[in-house]
Amino acid sequence: MYWFKYVKMGNIATSIKEQIQKLKNRGMDLDLEEDKIKEILLDIGYYRLGFYWNPFEIDENHNFAEGTKFSSIIDLYYLDVDLRSILTKYLYRIELNFRTKLIYYVSNKYKLSPTWFIDSKVINRDFIDAFDHFYDDDFINNNKPIKKHHAKYINDKYAPAWKTLEFFTFGSILKIYKSLNEEDVKVRISEIYGVKNYQKFINLFETIVYVRNCCAHSSILFDLNLPKSISAFAEIKFNGHERHNLDSCIKVILFILNKISTSRHDEMLKAIDDLFLSHKNNPVTKSIIENEIGYKFQ
């Protein structure tokens, strides 16, 4: 069997055979069958797996700590995959709920302005000036309901909010919320989720959007470190003073999800606990869960 797959590492592309030799030379215990290792390297890729063996490197030459096993790297990789799968399901629920609430409450407050997202009485000028970068020919043609709207209402420059905003990203929806001129609308929506201070609400949702984007783009989750700390919030009990790691983000997601559906909150909490508990007897992933993710086993 021939292995012609090449992966770019630094400035030199290497074959699977060369990649395996590099791992041996750096001290990794290749404790799986060689054909299985080749299959994994061709499936996941040497470069991506590097994010998962990075915690086990001990020097600038990328040598591994004694006893580092290839199987442990794969365990960590699949912990990340499973965690992403759980989070994605419930993040989508939050995104949909927030989008619906924003469209409903703002549209009903400004009933005479169906395209309030470009109304300077409703939205700040900076957002409006940039809006046509979102709402271009590609946006219209790629979203069937928007295209049908313009075919029927040929004089409309934009479709109404309840059509248009269905096709905006979570980040864009949050940006619209932040761009609302009147604070009372922001407070009305934030209070639905149990947050009276809308600035703190924005911080919590910025955290949720950040995690959602990490999941959507298959970023590494286990060592997630927020660029901006989560605001101190009495209703969320963080572990100590840490408000940057993934465990803190999960607590934010659970808090907001609980305001939407207690059943979905309980379901997600159980899924997370069950996943982490399944690694409790694996000393390598258990250490990552506790020290990198920040989760505390009971």
Listed residue (201, 200, 181, 176) closest to 190, CA to CA? 201
Q: Tell me whether residue 31 is in a domain.
A: yes
Contacts of 45 (CB under 8 A, 6+ apart): 7
Confidence of residue 242 (pLDDT cuts 50, 70, 90): confident
Listed residue (258, 224, 70, 98) closest to 173, CA to CA? 98
Cβ–Cβ under 8 Å, residues 256 and 202: no
What is residue 13's predicted lDDT score, i.e. its pLDDT? 79
Q: Tell me whether residue 1 is in a domain.
A: no
**Whether 34 and 146 share a structural domain:** no
Phi, psi of 116 (to 5 degrees): -60, -20
**Whether 140 and 282 share a structural domain:** yes
Last residue of a domain, one of 14, 42, 68: 68
**Whether 24 and 93 share a structural domain:** no
**Whether 104 and 14 share a structural domain:** no
Q: What is the pTM of this model?
A: 0.92
6, pLDDT greater than 80: no
**Whether 248 and 271 share a structural domain:** yes
Q: Which domain holds residue 18?
A: 6-68
What is residue 218's predicted lDDT score, i.e. its pLDDT? 92
Q: Residue 2, Cβ neighbours under 10 Å: how many?
A: 7
Contacts of 37 (CB under 8 A, 6+ apart): 20, 30, 70
Name the residue with tokens 């470069």: 47
Q: Tell me whether residue 33 is in a domain.
A: yes
CA-to-CA separations, 246 to 55, 115, 123, 207, 209, in angstroms, rounded: 16, 37, 33, 10, 13
Query: Residue type for 114, please?
Result: P
Instruction: Please state, in angstroms and rounded to a whole number, the distance separating the CA atoms of residues 114 and 34.
Output: 62
Q: Tell me whether residue 298 is in a domain.
A: no
Instruction: Please state, in angstroms and rounded to a whole number, the distance separating the CA atoms of residues 185 and 123.
Output: 11
**Whether 120 and 41 share a structural domain:** no
Q: Tell me whether residue 261 is in a domain.
A: yes
Q: Residue 224, Cβ neighbours under 10 Å: how many?
A: 22
What is residue 14's predicted lDDT score, i.e. its pLDDT? 87
**Whether 10 and 82 share a structural domain:** no
Confidence of residue 11 (pLDDT cuts 50, 70, 90): low
Cβ–Cβ under 8 Å, residues 123 and 176: yes
Last residue of a domain, one of 16, 40, 68: 68
- Average pLDDT of the chain is 94
**Whether 173 and 62 share a structural domain:** no
Confidence of residue 239 (pLDDT cuts 50, 70, 90): confident
Confidence of residue 298 (pLDDT cuts 50, 70, 90): confident
**Whether 125 and 61 share a structural domain:** no
**Whether 21 and 161 share a structural domain:** no
Q: Transcribe 30-56 into DSSP letters.
A: --S-HHHHHHHHHHT-HHHHHHHHGGG
- Domains in the chain, number: 2
Instruction: Please state, in angstroms and rounded to a whole number, the distance separating the CA atoms of residues 173 and 271.
Output: 28
Last residue of a domain, one of 68, 89, 116: 68
> 64-122 pLDDT, tens per residue?
999 999 999 999 999 999 999 999 999 999 999 999 999 999 999 999 999 999 999 99
> 130-157 pLDDT, tens per residue?
999 989 999 999 999 999 999 999 999 9
**Whether 28 and 132 share a structural domain:** no
Q: Tell me whether residue 273 is in a domain.
A: yes
Percent share of the chain, pLDDT over 90 = 93
Q: Are strands 6-9 and 12-15 parallel, antiparallel or unpaired?
A: antiparallel
Listed residue (275, 284, 256, 288) closest to 96, CA to CA? 256
Q: Tell me whether residue 212 is in a domain.
A: yes
- Provide Rg for the chain, Cα atoms: 24
Q: Tell me whether residue 49 is in a domain.
A: yes
**Whether 56 and 179 share a structural domain:** no
